[in-house]
Amino acid sequence: MRNVAIVGAGITHFGRRDASWKDLVVEAGKALFDDVPNLDKKDVDSFFIGAAQPERWTYQTHVAPLAAELLGLKPRRVVARTESACASGQIAIRYAWLAVASGLSDVAVVVGVEKMNTKFMNLSQTSMMNVGNREFDTAVGLTAPPYFAMVAQRHMHLYGTTEEQLALVREKAGEYGSANPYAQFQKKITKEDVLKSRVVAPPLKLFDCSGITDGAAALLITSEERAREYTDTPVWILGGIQRTMANSINEMGELSDWLSLRYLAKDVYDLFKITPEDIDIAEVHDCFTISEIVEYEELGFCKKGEGGKFIEEGQSYIGGKVAVNPSGGLLANGHPLGATGVRQAWEITMQFRGEVSEKRYVSGAELGLAHNLSGMAQFHHIMLYSIKKPKDVKFGR
Amino acid sequence: MKEIVLPDTIPLLPIVDPWEQQDAEGPDSTKVYQFYKNLSEGKLTMQRCKKCGNVFYPPQAMCKYCNSTEYEWEEIPKTGEIHAFSALLLGFPMIIENFAPFVVAVARFGDYPKNGVQIIGIMFDTDYRSLKIGDRVEWEIMRIKGPGEKVRYWYCFRKV
Ligand SMILES: CC(C)(COP(=O)(O)OP(=O)(O)OC[C@H]1O[C@@H](n2cnc3c(N)ncnc32)[C@H](O)[C@@H]1OP(=O)(O)O)[C@@H](O)C(=O)NCCC(=O)NCCS
Ligand SMILES: [Zn+2]
């Protein structure tokens, strides 16, 4: 396999944007092209766009050629739109990595985008409800907040996790998010603010939830041979894998056990010969505060059941055991489904390049992990990014 | 100037209708139509494979354990136990907003997972503060009237 690098990155402001889906694609594309002034668009041979539900939120299908044209690209190797709800963006990066690593592609553009705010916010909720087995599990009103609320309830029941511990996750997100000029919610939020915010789905309150967000991000991904044409600070994509073991409520068993993530993380550590202790930055999928707590555990940062304690002890802050979500995570950035995975890669790239505010900079970081979950946490996805060039990567048994 | 005229109202697409799948166009519209027929006759059912004996849910037209397409419909035990619950109090989806807010519960019926199911149901007229994990609930058939004269069936939970 060839070495693959992120050599450029761009992002839009996230939030309730006065911009169309196409505007967002163009804005992220322009930010990317401004970041890589040496790029000749003719060299872009592949194009991947992570977009979860453009057909529902903007009634537009077949978005890959549309977005490529908007950006002035005429890709000729691998072109795809990727969809897996909340993880759509990360999958676009994985496909670009594979295409370039295989030698089929040399220069690929990745975009992640979602336009979720429309005149019909209730229709947005309907659309998001369909990520489960719609007919039998979710169509009667099981949106994400009550589902993750039940995960939180089980975690509290089994391990004594508290609402205060959940609130700390949001307080941390606000602390770093306040130093992220692209985030949807840049206000600092205290633990007390979280505890007194409106109940959305008990025990989750407004500030325990990520938002409904418009936004996009873009990356330029090339082979090692081409990387130096565009940057002196490539970010190496070590790669990553995915895992799903169950989709319906009936197959999920104990809701607070995320077995797919537990086994996925083990496989990632084996495959890439690293340990959880090697990870300096983890951009994880904190779609709700409870998600981040379960992720500390399933990613092996702490023992099962000790996620609440982990944040209480400050282990997930910058300067702790591992800096988790120095970007502010989904809680502060908002969560435009298709854009989130690409935003995480953007964040790790900017961290490695030292181009983020001092207040959320993880100094000396060399290895970054990006995690997404999709749907009702049935499907998990991990990518690894490094400042150090990979040596002789081989996958096999 | 040429003019074209659109209808006064544009009907909502069935994509926002939670129960569009069971519109009784007959058993051919879905291979698990029997599930809906059972609901209309007062029974919430799961499938049991005739070949390997495994129970499966949600309904589907093939046993995922042994690939057999021979199965029986078995009534899910009437009473179960709450595994987790919450309530939908904010952020209502379209159509759902007509009967929200409500409690949402995941409950286990029968000897889960070998000989039973873990399913999700909504609970009406229930204060989530009056519930706890382990409470017994019953499934109950719910009649869905509308749009217009249409009548369909689903299930919900009720505390016992
Ligand atoms: C929680 C939720 C229902 C709140 O929606 P809402 O009640 O319609 O909120 P509104 O849009 O009316 O906003 C009301 C205020 O709260 C703020 N707000 C909304 N959601 C927020 C959030 N998640 N975090 C912080 N502030 C939020 C808004 O900015 C607004 O502030 P303002 O009054 O100062 O302008 C909605 O954000 C939601 O559904 N989040 C979950 C998204 C999701 O499920 N994603 C998939 C994850 S897997
Ligand atoms: Zn069988």
For residue range A190-222, list pLDDT tens digits in order: 999 999 999 999 999 999 999 999 999 999 999
Same domain, residue pair A148 and A159:
yes
What pLDDT does A168 receive? 98
> Do A164 and A312 lie in a common domain?
yes
Q: Give the closest ligand to the alpha carbon of residue A378.
A: 1
- Nearest alpha-carbon partner for A111 in A91, A130, A127, A138: A91
Distance CA A126, CA A309 (A): 35
The pairing of strands B102-111 and B115-123 is antiparallel
Q: For A118, phi and psi rounded to 5 degrees?
A: -130, 180
A206 close to ligand 1 (CB < 6 Angstrom): yes
pLDDT tens per residue across span B1-43: 999 998 888 776 677 888 877 765 565 678 899 999 999 999 9
Instruction: Calculate how far, in angstroms, residue A206's C-alpha sits from the geometric centre of ligand 1.
Output: 7
A228 and A95 housed in the same domain: yes
Which candidate, A325, A85, A292, places its Cα nearest to that of A204?
A292
Structure tokens of A193?
């603010």
Which of B106, B111, B139 to mutate to probe the A interface, most A CBs <10 Å? B106
Portion of chain A with pLDDT greater than 70, in percent: 99
Residue B68 alpha carbon to ligand 2 centre in Å: 5
* Chosen from B30, B89, B103, B153 to mutate, greatest number of chain A CBs within 10 A: B89
**A161 touches A149 (CB < 8 A):** no
Residues A82 and A47 in one domain: yes
Marked catalytic residue, from A209, A285, A287, A335: A335
Span A333-356, mean pLDDT?
98
CA A190, A195, A200, A203: dihedral to nearest 10 degrees? 130
Q: Are A243 and A227 found together in one domain?
A: no
Whether the Cβ atoms of residue A385 and residue A238 lie closer than 8 Å to each other: yes
Strand partners, A9: A219
Ligand nearest to the backbone CA of A372: 1
**Residue A261, both tokens:** 């993530």
The secondary structure element, H or E, covering residue A79 is: strand A79-82
Q: Kindly state if the Cβ of A369 falls inside 6 Å of ligand 1.
A: no
List all residues of chain B from 41 to 80 with a beta carbon under 8 Å from chain A: 56-59
Same domain? For A83 and A146 the reply is: no
Which residue in this structure is represented by tokens 């078995």?
Answer: B74
A196 touches chain B (CB under 8 A): no
Ligand 1 pocket test, candidate residues B86, B88, B89, B90, most atoms within 8 A of CB:
B90
A344 and A357 both lie in a single domain: yes
Helix, strand, or coil (residue A323): strand
Q: Supply the pLDDT for residue A273.
A: 94
> Are A284 and A182 in the same domain?
yes
Give one DSSP letter per residue of chain B, joined into a string: -------S--PPPGGG-TTGGG--S-TTS-TTHHHHHHHHTT--EEEEETTT--EE-S--SS-TTT----EEEEEPPSEEEEEEEEEE-S-PPTTGGGT-SEEEEEEEEEETTTEEEEEEEEESS--GGG--TT-EEEEEEEEEE-STT-EEEEEEEEE-
Q: Residues with beta carbon < 5 A to ion ligand 2?
A: B 49, 51-52, 63, 65-66, 68
Please answer whether residues A351 and A365 qualify as being in contact, where contact means their C-beta atoms are separated by less than 8 angstroms: yes
Looking at residue A397, what is its pLDDT?
52
pTM exceeds 0.95, yes or no: yes
- Establish if A123 touches chain B: CB-CB under 8 angstroms: yes
A202 lies within 8 A of chain B by CB: yes
The 8-class DSSP code of residue A134 comes to I
Bridge partners, residue A367, by sequence: A386
Domain count, chain A: 2
Q: Which residue has the tokens 């977009």?
A: A51
Domain residues for the domain of A192 are 142-210+238-386
Same domain, A15 and A67: yes
Q: Does residue A128 form part of some domain?
A: no
A393 falls within a domain? no
Answer yes or no: is A135 within a domain: no
Ligand 1 and A127: CB distance under 6 A: no
Q: What pLDDT does residue B26 have?
A: 60
Q: Residue A367: inside a domain, yes or no?
A: yes
Q: Tell me if residue A395 falls in helix, strand or coil.
A: coil
Q: What are phi and psi of B92, to 5 degrees?
A: -75, 135
Direct distance between the N- and C-terminal alpha carbons of chain A, in angstroms, rounded to an integer: 16
The one-character DSSP state at A138 is: I
Give SS3 for A114: strand
Q: What is the CATH number of the domain that holds A90?
A: 3.40.47.10
Q: Which amino acid is at B160?
A: V
Average pLDDT by consecutive 10-residue portion of chain B (160 residues)? 89 77 66 92 97 97 97 98 98 93 98 97 97 98 89 95
Q: Note the pLDDT of residue A383.
A: 98
> Is residue A335 annotated as a catalytic residue, yes or no?
yes
Displacement of CA B1 from its chain's centroid (Å): 52
Best mutation site among A122, A212, A284, A287 for ligand 1 pocket (most ligand atoms within 8 Å of CB): A212
Task: Answer whether residue A131 is part of any domain.
Answer: no
Tell me, rounded to whole angstroms, the distance of Cα A266 from its chain centroid: 19
Average pLDDT over residues A177-202: 98
Does residue A311 lie within any of the structural domains? yes
The answer to whether residue A304 sits within a structural domain is yes
d(CA A348, CA A384): 10
The SS3 call for residue A231 is: coil
Contact in structure between A4 and A10 (CB atoms under 8 Å) = no
The reply to whether A158 and A88 lie within a common domain is no
A209 lines ligand 1 (CB under 6 A): yes
Nearest beta carbon to residue A250 from set B19, B58, B91: B58
A139 vs A74: which has the higher pLDDT: A74
Residue A124 has pLDDT above 80, yes or no: yes
- Nearest CB among B56, B96, B118 relative to A249 is that of B118
Cα A324 from Cα A311, distance rounded (Å): 10
CA distance B131 to B134: 9
Same domain? For A205 and A333 the reply is yes
Q: Is A309 domain-assigned? A: yes
Query: In this structure, are A303 and A163 located in the same domain?
Result: yes
Q: Do A140 and B18 touch (CB under 8 A)?
A: yes
What's the CA gap between A188 and A185, in Å, rounded?
8
Size of interface A-B (CB pairs under 8 A): 116
